[in-house]
Every structure is written in structure tokens, then in C-alpha cells.
Amino acid sequence: MNAIIDPIVLYVGLAVGALGVLIALPRRGVNPQLIGIVLAAAGFGAVIGVLAYLGAQAGESLSVFFYVFAAIALLSALRVVTHQRPVYSALYFILTILASSALYLLVGSEFMAFALIIIYAGAILITYLFVIMLATQAPTEQDVGIMSPYDAYAREPVAATATGFVLLAVLTGMFATGVPRVAATGDAGAGLREDPALLVHLPGRVIRGLEGRDVFSVFEKPERGELVDGEGPVELDLERGVVGLMLREGGDELLARRLAEETRDVRFAELFIGVGGEGGPGLPPAGVVAAGGPVLVGLPEDVAPTNLDGVGWTLVAGHPVTLEVAGVILLMALLGAVVLARKQIELGEDEKEAAARLASHGGTFGGPSSGPDAFAASVGPNTAPPGEPARSTPAEGTPSSSLEDRRE
């Protein structure tokens, strides 16, 4: 890539952004966060605006929704960092996640977009919210509305902002200095598609797609063997992906013609139907298309592999071991979290008394310790700490506990 942005514009934009982030970080005393956020937005917006201008000049304008969701993602990330209340930070992070999943959708990566929402917004962020609410002291009467000091102001805001934006300047410096150009595959502007060569691995998809068009009988009920090329010699474009389907000896010329004409405009991938093709399952030598030879047709558009096909195939066929390792990592994290969070806190005298009273009552809600202990009992005898003999007894459903349930 050549240098596309004037370095002065880039660095001035970043400097304004840095100033804005610095102002927006929480601090003691006067806290003009709104001004900071507007400044930061102006800084980032300047750079993105220049990029948009360049893209439009190159005839490659992005969807307007990109700018909308990029703005939402950036500013809500900024709010995560600058908001003084942790719960709001987490909620703004959910907004970041939603915006970036919209950005995934804009480039046609729908599987990851929805996976992101489910995993991040649905699972991880809920855990964060739980922990934030678990690990916050309840405000007492007199200090409602007073934040904890560690939330109220940032530590070393100047150094942090400087570090961050120098890093950003180095990262985005290639916009101003240029790096070797990378050619895009496919024709930009016309829209890119999933790699059609993937269809070679997904014959079931081709067959289903052709079945729906009522031409699949060509392959199933051959009647005559002669096949002619519909429109003269057509070059086989191997780079766009070729799916070979053999017509059996004695195929139906009429149906094959219909298939060719129906799908001629949709040159998604070349499907050729041949009789007794050479070299593999129906693959004739490239360029050899003559009367009586294979007929080139395009595949119907709905046969094109989708993003889901691509991700699924690559995940399972390309990275099976990594997938297993990821599962093992998750399992280890699960066990680690259980081991870490199981650790008992020392109960004060009052809580011990209350727990003992509840235990003698036979209630299942025996203080804060009964939950983890019940879990430990179900995990196995080895994990139960030896020094605590009788605490898990109330969790085992005694007759009196069921009596209490009935009373409630």
C-alpha cells in the first residue's frame, strides 16, 4: 500500500483524540468528560473521515452503517474506560460488542456476529455483571452516591494516554508511510463472495441446490449420451473454482441445455457436465470444450457456499486439533475457577452462630457457606476440607427441611 494519508492529518487527528481521551478519563475535582468525549470523537472521526474520502475516491465506498457502528463501538469503548461506575462500564461494553457484531455482519461474517453476541454479551458479560455486583460494598445510609475512590479517579492518566496514543501512532503510521501493497482477491466493488472452490468439498450442497431446480434428474435418469456445448467454446476458469459432475453414459441433452441456459448468467462457478471426461471425476483438460464435450454452466446462486459453510468447514477440517485444545482450555478454566472460588472465607462469630442455628433448624439456606459445601460434596470426597466435619449436613435434604418447604 502506498502512503494514503497525509501524516500531518493523521498525527493531528490522533493528538486531538489523545487530548480528548485524557480529558475524558475520570479525575478528582472538575470532570469535563463530555468535552473530552467530543474531542476524542473529533480526533478519531477526522482520521476515519479521511479514510472514507479516500475510499469514495477509489470507488470503494463502505456502507454508511460502517461509520455508524464504528462510532458506536469506539465511543462506547471510551465510556467503558472512562465511566466511573463499573456496572455502566460493563453495560457500555455490551454496546461495544453489539456494534462490533454489526460490523462483522457488514462484511458478511454472520456466523461470528451471532456467536459474538451469544458468547460475549450473553455469557461473559453476564459473569462480569455478577462479579461487579458481588464484589461491591453496599452503600451505607450516609454515602449513597459516593463512589469508591478507586473508581472515582484514574491512575496516571497522562502517562497512560501518552503510551496508548504513541502505540496507536506507530500502529497507524503505515497509513502515512506506506507498506508493500497487497492485492485484493476477487473484484472489489462488485462484492466478494465465499471461495467457490470450497464447493469441491461440499458435493451435497451442489446436489441439493440442483435438485431444487428440477434438473438433477439429468444425473439420475440419463437417456441419451450426446451432449453439445450450448454457446461455443467456453474457457474453463479454474481459479474461480470448478465443480465436476459427471453425466452418466447416455445423459439427457435437453435437460442439460436447460440447466446451462437457466444458469448461464450466474457465473458463480463453472459446473461442467461431461460424458466420460478424462483425468479424474469428470475433469477434462482445461480449455478443451468442444461439441460433444462437456457443457459449461454456472451454478445457481443459492448453491454458493455461505459464511457458515466456510467457517464450519475450516474449523472442523482445518483446525480439528486446535478445536480440541480449545475445549480442554475451557475445561481447565472451569476447574480452575471452581477451585479458586471454592476457598472458604473465615466466618465471624455472629455468622457462625447464625449458621449453627439454621443447621439445627434443618433449613437448607444455612448461611453463606452451605452452597459451596454442597457443591464440594457433589464434586467428591477428596475436595472436602478435612477440618470441617458437619457443615455439609444441612444441605442433604432432611425430613425437617421438606417440612419447612411445605410451611412456606
Partner 1 sequence: MTTACAAISLAGWAAQAASGAPASVLGPEPGAAIGAVVEPGLGPIGLYHYLFLAASLFVIGVIGFISRRNMIIMFLCTEIMFQAAAIALIAFSRFHLNHDGEVFVIFVLTIAAAEAALALALVVLLFRRKESLDSAEWAQLKG
**63-102 residues near partner 1, rule: CB under 8 A:** 63-68, 70-81, 86, 89-90, 93, 96-97, 100
Q: Distance between alpha carbon 276 and the CA centroid of its chain, in Å? A: 45
Q: How far apart are CA 256 and CA 215, in angstroms?
A: 8
> Does 131 engage in binding with partner 1 (CB under 8 A)?
yes
CA distance 392 to 377: 7
Q: Are 224 and 292 in contact (CB under 8 A)?
A: no
| Contact with partner 1 (CB under 8 A) among 3, 9, 12, 115 | 115
Of 346, 338, 332, whose CA–CA distance to 375 is shortest? 338
**Among residue numbers 258 through 277, which ones bind partner 1 (CB under 8 A)?**
265-266
Q: Site for partner 1 (CB under 8 A): which residue of 23, 98, 154, 273?
A: 154
* Cβ-based nearer residue to partner 1, 23 or 283: 23
For position 185 contacting partner 1 by CB under 8 A, the verdict is yes
Work out the number of other CB atoms within 10 angstroms of the CB of residue 28: 9
Reported residue count of the chain is: 408
For residue 116, the minimal CB distance to partner 1 (Å) is 7
- Which of 1, 146, 288, 290 forms a contact with partner 1 (CB under 8 A)? 1
Minimum distance from CB of 102 to partner 1 (Å)?
11
d(CA 135, CA 7): 46
Residue from 60, 214, 223, 324 touching partner 1 (CB under 8 A): that is 60
- 119 makes contact with partner 1 (CB under 8 A): yes
Enter the DSSP assignment of 271.
E
Question: Which one of residues 8, 159, 321, 390 is an interface residue with partner 1 (CB under 8 A)?
Answer: 159
Min separation Cβ 275 and partner 1, Å: 28
Amino acid at position 165, single letter: F
Q: Which amino acid is at 70?
A: A
Calculate the dihedral angle through the C-alpha atoms of 258, 260, 263, 268, rounding to the nearest 10 degrees: 160
Residues 324-353 that bind partner 1 (CB under 8 A): 326, 329-330, 332-334, 336-337, 340-341, 343, 345
Angle at the Cα of 87 from the Cα atoms of 84 and 93, rounded to 5 degrees: 95
Residue 245 sits at φ, ψ, to 5 deg, of -125, 125
Contacts with partner 1, 23-42, as mask; x by CB under 8 A: --x-----------xx-xxx
Selected from 16, 23, 102, 116, the binder of partner 1 by CB under 8 A is: 116
Mark the segment that binds partner 1 (CB under 8 A) among 182-190, 228-236, 278-286, 383-391.
182-190
9 is a site residue for partner 1 (CB under 8 A): no
Site for partner 1 (CB under 8 A): which residue of 9, 12, 121, 164?
164
First to last CA, the chain: 72
Asked if residue 19 binds partner 1 (CB under 8 A), the reply is: no
Residues of span 369-408 touching partner 1 by CB under 8 A: none
Cα 187 to Cα 240: distance, rounded to the nearest angstrom: 12
Residues 82 and 48 sit within 8 Å (Cβ to Cβ): no
Least distance CB 95 / partner 1 (angstroms):
10
